[in-house]
Chain A
Amino acid sequence: MTTYLVKGASILGGERADLLLRDGRIEEVGAGLSAAGAVVLDADGLVALPGLVDLHTHLREPGREDAETVETGSRAAALGGFTAVHAMANTDPVADIAGVVEQVWSLGRRSGWVDVRPVGAVTVGLRGERLAELGAMATSAAGVRVFSDDGKCVHDAVLMRRALEYVKAFDGVVAQHSQEPRLTEGAQMHEGAVSAVVGLCGWPAVAEEAIVARDVLLAGHVGSRLHVCHLSTAGSVEIVRWAKSRGIDVTAEVTPHHLLLTDESVRSYDPVFKVNPPLRTAEDVLALRAALADGTIDAVATDHAPHPAEDKDCEWAAAAMGMTGLETALSIVQHTMVDTGLLDWAQAADRMSTAPARIGRLADHGRPLVAGEPANLVLVDPAASRTVDPGVMATMGRNSPYRGMVLPGQVIATVFRGRATVLDGALCWEQALSCGHGYGGEKKVER
């Protein structure tokens, strides 16, 4: 395996140091390091962060390989600075049995760009009727710890209570897609001033908040861990803040798009802005940013949702919900949180790596950049800027809402288990093809 010497990186945006990466570990951190035979990465002006961890990624495989595959989605993740992603369960077949989660896990290992951690479905077929075999998925080779019916809400209160209780046996967490189904029948966009004008059926904030409120109370009652997916409203922030103040073990994620975009975009009727939960108001955006800054919201998660062109090239009501996000997430966080002074880089690393790794129980990710830790890290050029062009992205989805926007920041290099997956802002093919994917005991050909 190649040894890398990263020269002069700003560690978490602070002091500059060299990092020596050997055999999948950070061997040494300090000034003026040298190592014979090491490939030197000049990190002058770059910020070093622990490799990013996404709690919420749709890789679409198995079943919708026309939208994305584990291979293409994990390439996109590497380019975005990620070293681990959680693959959501709403595939076809649904990831509700050990066989499917093991298949996704093994596809991820074969691709080798990031750690692909499958999420298991909470209920059979996402139907919300009876529990899937959560224990079997937890003890499978995939070692599932996050369970979610994402895309559907576990709306039955008894079933949700049982799921919250049951996963305690293996330190799992239920990640809830909070959407009261009756209040959102036919919903197309946030319900408010804009929906009233454009005449699209509303998705009221209360439909999210009612479920978040119920779930934190349930989690408190049974002493379980709850994770709130893609929290999108100012009211949900207040509920989670209250729950945390009461000592309830709840965590929450926010997507990059909910940190930047608002329902005003829907006036264009361009379905690239159609997403679930929907884009909310400017007041919600500000509340979400503040909550991510003060830690009420623990993590940023992309909800990367690629769709084939025909599912977006149509009228709004017929379009699929979702937008891509892996390759733009860090730039959006820099733009909305770091450049605005709400987070420093160390805090951004917490929200995009440490906290999601802790929630997903990933031992090798989100670790400090110190000697002895796994070599999962990303080098970012915060001074760079780029114009977003979905056509050149690694994801198969072209449904980026940021098309044409100029965003700050560029991932220059991503190192996954000591192996560079991205160098000079491009995928590192030779490494991917030549080595044993960075996993221990598979040291094979070096270049």
Chain B
Amino acid sequence: MRHLLSAADLDRDTAVHVLDVAEQMAATQRREIKKLPTLRGRTVVNLFFEDSTRTRISFEAAAKRLSADVINFSAKGSSVSKGESLKDTALTLEAMGADAVVVRHSASGAPHRLAHAGWIRGAVVNAGDGTHEHPTQALLDAFTLRRHLVGADGASRGRDLAGKRVAIVGDVLHSRVARSNVLLLGRLGAEVTLVAPPTLLPVGVDGWPCTTSYDLDAVLAGRTSGPLDAVMMLRVQAERMNAAYFPSAREYSRRYGLDARRLALLPEHTIVMHPGPMNRGLEISAEAADSPRSTIVEQVSNGVAVRMAVLYLLLSGESVSGGNP
């Protein structure tokens, strides 16, 4: 694995290996001394052209716990705001000796360009690009699913998500989280159902390795493809409301929001996920967000372990099918 640009870069075995390494990373995080010397002397640049406090902090914590030097480069207040191109920014980072670049960009494919245009030699990690992908989010979601549905603390080592049923609900059209999860969870053997109003499903979604539905109640009650093991709610951005994707926030919430009534439709063991940040009262109610089924806070801490695993695998030179860290 040279870069991590898309969840499609990970075949089943590689993805399981990343999750296994992440479990070992998580175990180290329960020790008193959390810091590992693994990436001492290596430089990781967090290149964030879009605001994203939680993803940046998660990558920063992951790199620091592996003893890498971390440089945070935010587009705001930088030369980028003066019109510097992506290419020149990349050349600058290359000149400073970045071993890995973690990039968040509003343009789909920007990490792909960074990795393949010949501007830099370091590893590129996609931390979310436009409406394309967010592969480490999908990895941490898969990690969370595996812990809850397959086995915690190493009991799930080597295992995938075969046969697990996951519904992803909301603005699929604009969601990089949904794209990466459909690809990754599919590779891991899960059955994914996308639930959204027709306006928020992309033309061409029929080619994706999943099923789709417009009826949230039917999916939650298991009437479309069987009982769910997890339901993942997607954030609905405010600007969508002005573009006729749906008539009003209230109507969206009534038809596609996860509230207490809908929560009661789910089997006992089903977990509730959200990549954050949440719009409480829009796509998810407080009852759902704060219920014992909710893994929303746990997803955040799992994010650090998964990102440690990704940085470790990209920078340590370990072959993707290789052994233990």
Binds A, one of B127-135, B163-171, B264-272, B278-286: B127-135
Q: A317-B130, A318-B86 are in contact. Are A196 and B204 (CB under 8 A)?
A: yes
B107-123 interface bits toward A, Cβ cutoff 8 Å, 1 = contact, 0 = none? 11110110011000000
CB-CB contacts below 8 Å: B52-110 with A = 85-87, 105-110
Select A195's contact among B87, B105, B129, B204, beta carbons within 8 Å: B204
Interface membership of B245, Cβ < 8 A: no
Interface membership of B247, Cβ < 8 A: no
Q: Give the chain A neighbours of B238 by CB distance below 8 A.
A: none
Interface membership of A314, Cβ < 8 A: yes
Q: Give the number of A-B contacts (CB < 8 Å).
A: 78
Interface membership of B176, Cβ < 8 A: yes
What is the minimal beta-carbon distance from B315 to any residue of chain A, in angstroms?
24
Q: A198-B109, A198-B132, A200-B109 are in contact. Are A314 and B203 (CB under 8 A)?
A: no
Q: Give the chain B neighbours of A313 by CB distance below 8 A.
A: 85, 87, 117
CB-CB contacts below 8 Å: A170-226 with B = 188, 191-202, 204
Q: In whole angstroms, how far apart are the Cα atoms of A78 and B130 in the complex? A: 42
Q: In whole angstroms, how far apart are the Cα atoms of A202 and B173 in the complex? A: 11
List 26 contacting pairs A-B, 8 Å CB cutoff, sorted by A. Answer: A188-B108, A191-B204, A194-B204, A195-B202, A196-B202, A196-B203, A197-B179, A197-B208, A199-B108, A199-B131, A199-B133, A200-B108, A200-B109, A200-B130, A200-B132, A202-B202, A202-B203, A269-B109, A269-B113, A313-B87, A314-B85, A315-B86, A315-B105, A315-B109, A317-B107, A317-B109
Q: In whole angstroms, how far apart are the Cα atoms of A158 and B131 in the complex? A: 37
CB atoms of A192 and B109 under 8 A apart: no
What is the minimal beta-carbon distance from A435 to any residue of chain B, in angstroms?
44
Interface membership of A113, Cβ < 8 A: no
Q: Give the chain A neighbours of B108 by CB distance below 8 A.
A: 188, 198-200, 269, 316-317
Q: Give the chain B neighbours of A268 by CB distance below 8 A.
A: 112, 116
CB atoms of B203 and A195 under 8 A apart: yes
B106, B108, B202 pick with most chain A CB within 10 angstroms? B108
What is the minimal beta-carbon distance from B229 to any residue of chain A, in angstroms?
25
Closest to B132 in A: A199
Q: Give the chain A neighbours of B241 by CB distance below 8 A.
A: none
Interface membership of B207, Cβ < 8 A: yes
Q: A198-B132, A199-B129, A199-B176 are in contact. Are A315 and B107 (CB under 8 A)?
A: yes
Q: In whole angstroms, how far apart are the Cα atoms of A188 and B106 in the complex? A: 14
A135-154 interface bits toward B, Cβ cutoff 8 Å, 1 = contact, 0 = none? 00000000000000000000
Select B207's contact among A191, A196, A201, A202, beta carbons within 8 Å: A196
Interface membership of A310, Cβ < 8 A: yes
What is the minimal beta-carbon distance from B8 to any residue of chain A, in angstroms?
8
Q: Give the chain A neighbours of B206 by CB distance below 8 A.
A: 193
CB atoms of B107 and A318 under 8 A apart: yes
Task: For the complex, count residues of B whose C-beta is within 8 A of A.
Answer: 27
> Beyond A196-B205, A317-B107: 20 further Cβ-contacts under 8 Å?
A191-B204, A193-B204, A195-B203, A195-B204, A196-B203, A197-B204, A200-B132, A268-B116, A269-B108, A269-B109, A270-B113, A313-B87, A314-B86, A315-B107, A315-B109, A315-B110, A316-B109, A316-B110, A316-B113, A317-B130
Q: In whole angstroms, how far apart are the Cα atoms of A211 and B28 in the complex? A: 62
Listed from nearest, the 10 A-B pairs whose CB atoms lie closest are A196-B204, A199-B132, A269-B109, A317-B107, A196-B202, A199-B131, A193-B204, A199-B108, A315-B107, A315-B110
What is the minimal beta-carbon distance from B1 to any residue of chain A, in angstroms?
19
Q: Give the chain B neighbours of A315 by CB distance below 8 A.
A: 86, 105, 107, 109-110, 113
CB atoms of A199 and B208 under 8 A apart: no
Q: In whole angstroms, how far apart are the Cα atoms of A62 and B110 in the complex? A: 32
Select A193's contact among B87, B113, B207, beta carbons within 8 Å: B207
A306-329 interface bits toward B, Cβ cutoff 8 Å, 1 = contact, 0 = none? 000010011111100000000000
Select A316's contact among B107, B116, B203, B204, beta carbons within 8 Å: B107
CB atoms of B203 and A204 under 8 A apart: yes
Q: In whole angstroms, how far apart are the Cα atoms of A390 and B39 in the complex? A: 42
Q: In whole angstroms, how far apart are the Cα atoms of A188 and B112 in the complex? A: 16
Q: In whole angstroms, how far apart are the Cα atoms of A318 and B113 in the complex? A: 12
Q: In whole angstroms, how far apart are the Cα atoms of A269 and B131 in the complex? A: 14
Q: Give the chain A neighbours of B85 by CB distance below 8 A.
A: 310, 313-314, 318
Q: Give the chain A neighbours of B112 by CB distance below 8 A.
A: 268-269
What is the minimal beta-carbon distance from B13 to any residue of chain A, in angstroms?
22
What is the minimal beta-carbon distance from A157 to any residue of chain B, in angstroms?
22
Q: A314-B113, A315-B113, A316-B109 are in contact. Are A196 and B208 (CB under 8 A)?
A: yes
Q: Give the chain A neighbours of B176 by CB distance below 8 A.
A: 199
What is the minimal beta-carbon distance from B207 to any residue of chain A, in angstroms?
4
Q: In whole angstroms, how far apart are the Cα atoms of A55 and B185 in the complex? A: 50
Q: In whole angstroms, how far apart are the Cα atoms of A314 and B117 in the complex? A: 9
Q: In whole angstroms, how far apart are the Cα atoms of A268 and B113 in the complex? A: 8
A202, A204, A269, A316 pick with most chain B CB within 10 angstroms? A269
Q: Give the chain A neighbours of B106 by CB distance below 8 A.
A: 317
Q: Give the chain B neighbours of A199 by CB distance below 8 A.
A: 108-109, 129-133, 176, 179
Q: In whole angstroms, how far apart are the Cα atoms of A437 and B202 in the complex? A: 55
Q: Give the chain A neighbours of B208 by CB distance below 8 A.
A: 196-197
What is the minimal beta-carbon distance from A321 to any residue of chain B, in angstroms?
15
Closest to B119 in A: A313
Q: Give the chain B neighbours of A196 by CB distance below 8 A.
A: 202-205, 207-208
A78-101 interface bits toward B, Cβ cutoff 8 Å, 1 = contact, 0 = none? 000000000000000000000000
What is the minimal beta-carbon distance from A410 to any residue of chain B, in angstroms?
30
